A and B are shown apart, each in its own frame.
Chain A
Amino acid sequence: MRIKHAVLTLWAALVTLPLLWAFMSSFKTDAEIFDSPWTPPAELRFDNWSRAWDQASIGQYLLNTLIVVGGALALTMLLGALTAYCLARYEFPGNRFIYYLLVAGMLFPVFLALVPLFFVVDNLGLLGTYHGLILVYAAYALPFTVFFLHGFFRSLPGAVAEAAFIDGASHAGVFFKVMLPMARPGMVSVGIFNFLGLWNQYLLPKVLNPDPDHYVLAQGLAELAVSQGYRSDWSGLFAGLVIAILPVLLAYVFFQRQIRAGLTSGALK
């Protein structure tokens, strides 16, 4: 029993230490980070944070990211749920084909598609716009969402839907009023995973979002990391990293019960 807890604590330490260390480092000077990586800072240097915030315009990027990720997440969830539901609960010719076509989208390296994708987006006049980025994000999040929710919708009991049909509900009505609410736990789980993925998305905005005023957080961080490479501003980089991690961490802690609930009630079957 004691050994078990020692192991559990050890893993917890392995998982949290690097995070805490990054947090601590964001308050240190560069010299402190390199000379004594283990010790806490002599004084808390909040100027690292303000430097990261100003220099990398993290405030503006945070706002841009919220707009793009928020929009894309809503769109992905709606379309992903609709698609997964249709593929999971309806028999029709081509069902399996569509399903595998979608799932295959998870297997191809995205950066090969970047140049052709640029032209598609450019030809539609969507380059560098929020809604363009939202549509592309949603399209690339679709395969995982459908894959995840497909099993979820299959596992839902059919009786409730049957009853609703008998009561005269339409197909759309059954989906929105009956099945979607029942799928809520799964929706929350996949929503969180999509949020994480979209939040950290880097390659797509790099090519499709060239205007620095529209930069998302990942682009701002990359800029910080590159200039770090030239100017050796590690403390600023750590501050930027922590700023980028915090919203995600908060969202997770806030939603973690729902994630677990979503995974428990039959997802991934």
Chain B
Amino acid sequence: MNLTRRGALLSAAAAAASTTLAACATGGGGDNEGAGKGDVSAENPLGVPADAGLEVVIFKGGYGDQYAIDAGTRLKEKHPKVAIDHKGIQGVGEVLQPRFVADSPPDVVDNSGAGRLDLATLVSAGKLKDLTELLDAPAVDDPGKKVRDTLMPGVIEDGTFDGKPLVLNYSSVLWGVWYSKSLFAKHGWTFPKTWEEMLTLNDEIKKAGLAPWTWQGKYPEYLNDPLLSMAAKAGGVEAVKAIDNLEAGAWQQPAVVAAAEAIHQLAVRGHILPGSEGLSHTEAQNAWCKGQVAFIPCGSWLEGEQQQVTPAGFDMVMATVPALTSSDKLPNGAVMAASSESFLVPAKAKNPQGGLEFLRYLFSKQVARGFAESAKALPVVTGATDGLTLTSGLGSVAEAVKAAGPNVFSYKFRTWYAPLSKAVDDATGELATKRINPQQWAERVQKAADAVAKDSSIVKHKR
């Protein structure tokens, strides 16, 4: 009897669920009584309610989540009654997607890592809170300054959509080519300035019994980074914009084809460690760390990722990709860079002021400094690494930032048009295994770009 009654209850629920089928996407809502705003004072500029809960969801990947725990600890010193619920997780998207749909999201999210939520989608669905209030609040370390004045140039722009700052990225990422300083010193090699020199040096490296290059073949996008960097350097900002704006023939510009040709030469001349096309990032990077290979392309996170397996005295450094030609449009120090670890406060957060306050502490100098030390990556807070003794890899990255000055570029098509991104990855994988030549590469990618441009179901962006 008892069982039957519960069954009836459940089937009633089923009926209820199925009548609101289409409403599944609008479900939830309603019960979203927020914690509201507490009193604003100099001590509490964002008006955090004294004893509300604060749910923090952090992507716990390569950088760990210690820095976010630190930020929570510091917030708690000021607001002892706030109950912080810290979650360091993987697969942020899978976990949070339904909560965003239901409008019952956490108060702060680090939307990063594989399987993060598509930012453009969140923005267009109006799921994010405007961060202007935070940017205009006084900085934790120096109340005379606004938070916006403590961040590296470009960071706020990176997270601004239609004039509204909605996302703040925490870490600055650069892409380049890595090598071991000690290995190069031993052989008397120096990092080449042009691609021509690179190919000459590669022949020399080969004679020394090493493989000149390897790459993370299982994930072909790793090899796209040097390819696209060279294309940008040779073709200038216009070439990058043409690609991002899906202009006709953008992928067949001479600079882009020449960059593909450069990468193709690595394969043609046998400069790539045999089998690289089947290696995961771990395997390729480990082969490189063991000194079997001279160069590997990667972003600035490599040192942190490899810290457990890097032999002492390896001294890895990142160099910017060599110039493609002698008449490149961008100077030699120009570098592909972007910021990552996207922090956001959901529009429907229960304690949005707490979320903003959390970010105020997160973007403080002290927490950022801890991030640089524990994660071996560059935070976007200016001066956070001043006076720190940087490891060789992080030091080289910091130097690259300085050397580049304003000559920093990045492609947007990866985040804007995921299908195009996949097509480029596939094509580059084929290029590096000599199954297609640079002309075919450019044709294929151009075709994919044209298909995206024609597809009315994909929202277009311009830069």
Contacts and interface: CB of A to CB of B under 8 A. Distances in A.
Interface residues of B, number: 34
A131 to B, nearest CB: 12
Contact of B62 (A123, A206, A222, A230): A230
Contacts of A34: 283, 286-287, 290
A232 interface: yes
A93 interface: no
A233 B306 CA distance: 10
A222 B308 contact: no
Contacts of A2: none
**For this complex, into which size category does the number of interface residues on chain A fall?**
20 to 34
B98 interface: yes
B285 A232 contact: yes
Interface in B14-57: 17, 24, 27-28
Contacts of B421: none
Contacts of B28: 119, 122
B91 A122 contact: no
Contacts of A119: 17, 24, 27-28, 98, 101-102
Interface in B52-98: 60-62, 87-91, 94-95, 97-98
Interface in B288-309: 290, 304-309
A120 interface: yes
A123 B91 CA distance: 23
B90 A115 contact: no
Contacts, number: 80
Nearest to B16: A123
B91 A206 contact: yes
A229 B305 CA distance: 8
Interface string A13-56: 00000000000000000110011000000000000000000000
B87 A212 contact: yes
A210 interface: yes
A24 to B, nearest CB: 19
Which of A212, A226, A228 has the most B CB atoms < 10 Å from its CB? A226
Interface in A171-222: 206-207, 210-212, 222
Contacts of A114: 94, 98
Contacts of B290: 31, 34-35
Contacts of B89: 210, 212
B282 interface: yes
Contact of B282 (A118, A124, A226, A232): A232
Nearest to B113: A226
A256 interface: no
Contacts of A116: 24
A106 to B, nearest CB: 20
B122 interface: no
Given A34-B286, A206-B91, A227-B61, A232 B24 contact: no
A100 B163 CA distance: 55
A31 B291 CA distance: 13
Given A34-B286, A120-B17, A207-B95, A229 B281 contact: yes
B459 interface: no
B305 A115 contact: no
A233 B98 contact: no
Nearest to A226: B90
A232 B98 contact: no
Nearest to B311: A31
Contact of A207 (B87, B94, B304, B309): B94
A230 B283 contact: no
Interface in B382-418: none
A232 B13 CA distance: 47
A212 B87 CA distance: 7
A231 interface: yes
A223 B65 CA distance: 13
Contacts of A222: 90-91
A223 B286 contact: no
Q: Interface SS of chain A: helix, strand, loop or mixed?
A: helix
Given A229-B282, A232-B285, A206 B17 contact: no
B282 A234 contact: yes
B301 to A, nearest CB: 8
A227 B87 CA distance: 15
Contacts of A30: 286, 308-309
A249 to B, nearest CB: 27
B95 A210 contact: yes
A35 B309 CA distance: 12
Given A223-B90, A229-B281, A31 B309 contact: yes
Given A30-B309, A223-B90, A207 B98 contact: yes
A233 B64 CA distance: 14
Contact of B98 (A115, A212, A228): A115
Interface in B97-136: 97-98, 101-102, 113-114
| Residue from B28, B282, B285 whose CB has the most chain A CB atoms within 10 Å | B282
Contacts of B309: 30-31, 232
Contacts of B94: 114, 206-207
Contacts of A227: 60-61, 90
Interface in B178-195: none
A115 B17 CA distance: 13
A124 B13 CA distance: 8
Contact of A233 (B24, B102, B308): B308
Nearest to B91: A206
B288 to A, nearest CB: 12
A228 B304 CA distance: 12
Nearest to A135: B10
A122 B102 contact: yes
Given A229-B281, A232-B309, A118 B98 contact: yes
8 contacts: A118-B98, A119-B24, A122-B98, A206-B94, A226-B114, A230-B61, A231-B305, A232-B305
Given A114-B94, A231-B307, A232-B305, 15 more contacts: A34-B286, A34-B290, A115-B24, A115-B97, A115-B98, A119-B17, A120-B17, A207-B95, A212-B88, A223-B60, A223-B90, A227-B60, A230-B61, A230-B305, A232-B308
Interface of B: 13, 17, 24, 27-28, 60-62, 87-91, 94-95, 97-98, 101-102, 113-114, 281-283, 285-287, 290, 304-309
**Smallest CB-CB A-B distances: 6 pairs:** A118-B98, A230-B62, A226-B90, A119-B27, A116-B24, A232-B309
